[in-house]
Structure 1
Amino acid sequence: MSPRLGVVLVPSLPPEALRPLAVAADEHLDDLWLWEDCFKESAMAAAGAALAWTERVRVGVGLVPVPLRTVPLLAMELATLHRMFPGRLAPGVGHGVQGWMGQVGVRPRSPMTLLDESVTALRALLDGEEVSTSGEYVRLDRVRLDWPPSPGTPLLVGGSGPRTLRFAGRRGDGVLLASALSEAEVAEQVGWAREGWAEAGHEGSPPVTTNLVVATGPDAHERVRRDLARWGVDDGAPGRAAAGGAEEVADTLGRLADLGVTEVAVQPAADEPDVDGLVRFVGTDVRAALGG
């Protein structure tokens, strides 16, 4: 089965680049993904704008670092967007980059405990429940949203290590993987997520999204190589990126789908000269090469 296709607003692009990218994604792709890297763009502000500018594309946030926002604030933000744009928001939460969390004074002693407490309370608030809890990090006293979304509204969880990904599979409605992963790393991480999914009593496999650097054109391979080097990756392992024509890119996407990836968020290289053109290429040529 072919994966869903999306595109990432990479944080190397300024906020004003969002509107044309969102419009192009709305025409050609299934999803538009937003990151919340410190200290660049706000994912919540960008998500609201992108949803308002578009008609059908799903807007994903991959991911919101839970140390940066209190659970009630994040619940209010997500509930508002879910109700204004039903079925079109796919928010994901995670630990965040601990170095950045330390820079702003919110680095927890136990990122796993904070994530667990946050997801538990956030899930209950989004389901319309009144929440009272006194955890190590999350403390709420009879908190209930006045305007919750529909119960069961999706909440994704992302990360990279085995504990986090088993937790993501067990507690999330979908799992977010990182960028520049090799096929071997994808297979291992999907396996961890599947273990958690099974522990929760779910059948089959969880929805899994990963980011993939993609470039096309005569200098595609060189641009991909430079972009991977920015991530500290230079081993050339299969799956870390896709470069070339539609058939070459579709072949990489197909192999990721075989490993359990259900959505690929195309990540333009930092020096991509035509992001809108890349979106059209993926949504038309690559989709056709995948068989629809």
Structure 2
Amino acid sequence: MTELGAVFRPQLAPERLRSVARIADDTGLDQLWLWEDCFREGGISTAAAALAWTENVRIGVGLLPVPLRNVAITAMEVASLHRMFPGRVIVSVGHGVQDWMGQVGARVESPVTLLREHLVALRALLGGERVTTEGRYVKLDDVALDWPPEGGGGGVLAGATGPRSLRLTGEAADGTILTAATNAEGVRKARQLIEEGRAAAGRGSGPHPVVVYLLTATGAGAPDRLRAELADEGLESVPDLGVAGDAGAVAKAVERLAEAGADTVVLQPTGDEPDPEGFVRFVAEEVRPLVP
């Protein structure tokens, strides 16, 4: 079955999260995703609050920018979430937006090297291992978590766009996050690159979930809002990107991505979505029943 989620976009004030999270929980939405975008809400703090306010919905953080974070701190925070809310936490890491990383003095010469080192160390720490490593960026001396999550917490996902990063997620991550700039053909190509990375690392067996965001507009003015957002992102020339319309149209767009290889499709409202709570209710109550 295709998992279905929605995004609480960080353009919304943090105090809006409680009502959105509770509606996601009450309506039976599979997943609610949060972003750690500079310079808006923190990913771990908002995830902890959303988990505490809800009982069943899984909370995803997509994603934590690794240049901002010492891997030991990331491991401590993620492990704490998994211990307090077992089975309900999905965490991903990534390069971060390089302009933002530059603004805070955290931009590195080789983002791919940093992400690889961070992933290897983070997965080991969450798996209960004692880690000593002297990498280009990640340096740990006899570090282990006192409270690692059971079973490693279900793994760490990584965000990726380019071919090198996509292969890396296959090599070193437990799943991959694709942006809303990915259409169905992009999902197919990403799957191929991920599998190349998995094969190169000897990780060909077992699941590797792929999560993709789908820019979605519904209700009054939906086509205009979708076009405007795609234009703002410079994506108006990408074919079959995003969807505007009713639940039937959205469900068909979700199915196209699932058929291309996505395991989870997360509906991403436009930045000017007038009713975030209503959007979550729409996803859970109208789209979910139409998606196999």
- TM-score (structure 2 length as normaliser): 0.95
Give the drift of 1:93.
0.6
| CA deviation vs aligned residue, 1:201-252 (integer Å, no higher than 9, x gap) | 33376211111111212421111111212211212611x2111111111111
What is the one-letter code of the residue matched to 2:263? T
Q: Is the 8 Å Cα contact of residues 194 and 205 (structure 1) preserved in structure 2?
A: no
Distance in 2 (alpha carbons) for counterparts of 1:286 and 1:7: 11
| CA deviation vs aligned residue, 1:136-192 (integer Å, no higher than 9, x gap) | 111111111111111332211111011111111222111101123232222222221
Specify which of 180, 201, 204 is matched with residue 202 of structure 1: 204
What is the one-letter code of the residue matched to 1:20? S
Q: Is the 8 Å Cα contact of residues 180 and 242 (structure 2) preserved in structure 1?
A: no
Report the equivalent of 1:282: 283
Distance in 2 (alpha carbons) for counterparts of 1:177 and 1:115: 16
Runs of 4+ off more than 4 Å: none
**What SS does structure 2 have at the residue aligned with 1:151?**
helix
The 10-residue stretch of structure 1 (66-75 or 163-172) with the greater mean CA deviation from structure 2: 163-172
What is the one-letter code of the residue matched to 2:147? W
Report the equivalent of 2:242: 241
| Change beyond 3 A, Cα 1:162–1:236 | closer
**What SS does structure 2 have at the residue aligned with 1:141?**
strand
Identity, % of aligned positions: 51
How do 1:159-238 residues align onto structure 2 when only pairs under 5 Å count? Answer: 159-199=160-200, 200-203=202-205, 206-235=208-237, 237-238=239-240
Residues 1:7 and 2:26 aligned together: no
Q: Is the 8 Å Cα contact of residues 205 and 260 (structure 1) preserved in structure 2?
A: no
Q: Give the superposed CA RMSD.
A: 1.5
| Change beyond 3 A, Cα 1:242–1:204 | farther
Distance in 1 (alpha carbons) for counterparts of 2:222 and 2:125: 45
**What SS does structure 2 have at the residue aligned with 1:87?**
coil
Give the drift of 1:197.
3.1
Distance in 2 (alpha carbons) for counterparts of 1:59 and 1:30: 9
Q: Is the 8 Å Cα contact of residues 197 and 205 (structure 1) preserved in structure 2?
A: no
**What SS does structure 2 have at the residue aligned with 1:132?**
strand
**What SS does structure 2 have at the residue aligned with 1:152?**
helix
Distance in 2 (alpha carbons) for counterparts of 1:223 and 1:97: 24
Report the equivalent of 2:26: 27
Specify every segment of 5 or more residues in structure 2 that has no aligned partner in the other structure, as ranges: none
Distance in 2 (alpha carbons) for counterparts of 1:220 and 1:22: 23
Specify every segment of 5 or more residues in structure 1 that has no aligned partner in the other structure, as ranges: none
Report the equivalent of 1:83: 83
Q: Is the 8 Å Cα contact of residues 197 and 206 (structure 1) preserved in structure 2?
A: no
- TM-score (structure 1 length as normaliser): 0.95
| CA deviation vs aligned residue, 1:46-76 (integer Å, no higher than 9, x gap) | 0100000010111111110111010111111
Report the equivalent of 2:120: 120
Report the equivalent of 2:137: 137
